[in-house]
């Protein structure tokens, strides 16, 4: 199984971005930052035609639990979600947290 969870959506990039932002708030997760990677790359004179926003999201209770078990996992937090386009198709994606954290720590919890 791939460590990536990627879902295509019929929504436009802006609709998907707004809906992800609303879902983060509705589930009471902390939204720490949103990075507009497409804009950043274009501003640096890099040829990048796609849209890509990366959301840094934190569930404080889960983060505290992870860090209590293995504080070195701080480098894998917060969780990242993205909304991006690939050849005109809008996608919403993330790395599966369980897969990522279990590959970085031998602590089962």
In a domain, 108, yes or no: no
In a domain, 109, yes or no: no
In a domain, 107, yes or no: no
Mean pLDDT computed over 72-86? 95
Question: How many domains in the chain?
Answer: 1
pLDDT at 98 over 90: no
Strands 79-86 and 52-58, bridge-based pairing: antiparallel
In a domain, 17, yes or no: yes
In a domain, 26, yes or no: yes
- Confidence label for 105 from pLDDT (cuts 50, 70 and 90): confident
- The domain that holds 73 is classified in CATH as 3.30.310.70
- For residue 6, count other CB atoms closer than 10 A to its CB: 12
pLDDT at 67: 94
In a domain, 43, yes or no: yes
CB contact set of 67 (below 8 Å; sequence gap of 6+)? 73, 74, 77
Range of the domain at 8: 4-102
Whole-number Å distance between alpha carbons of 17 and 11 = 9
pLDDT at 79: 93
pLDDT in tens, 22-37: 999 999 999 999 999 9
């Amino acid at each position: 199984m791939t460590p990536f969870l990627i879902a295509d959506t019929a929504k436009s990039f802006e609709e998907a971005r707004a809906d992800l932002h609303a879902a983060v708030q509705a589930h009471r997760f902390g939204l720490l930052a949103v990075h507009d990677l497409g804009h950043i790359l274009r501003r640096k004179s890099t040829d990048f035609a796609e849209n890509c926003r990366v959301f840094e999201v934190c569930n404080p209770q889960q983060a505290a639990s992870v860090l209590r078990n293995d504080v070195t996992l701080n480098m894998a937090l917060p969780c990242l979600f993205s909304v991006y386009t690939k050849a005109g198709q809008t996608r919403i994606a993330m790395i599966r947290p369980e897969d990522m954290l279990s590959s970085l720590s031998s602590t089962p919890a």
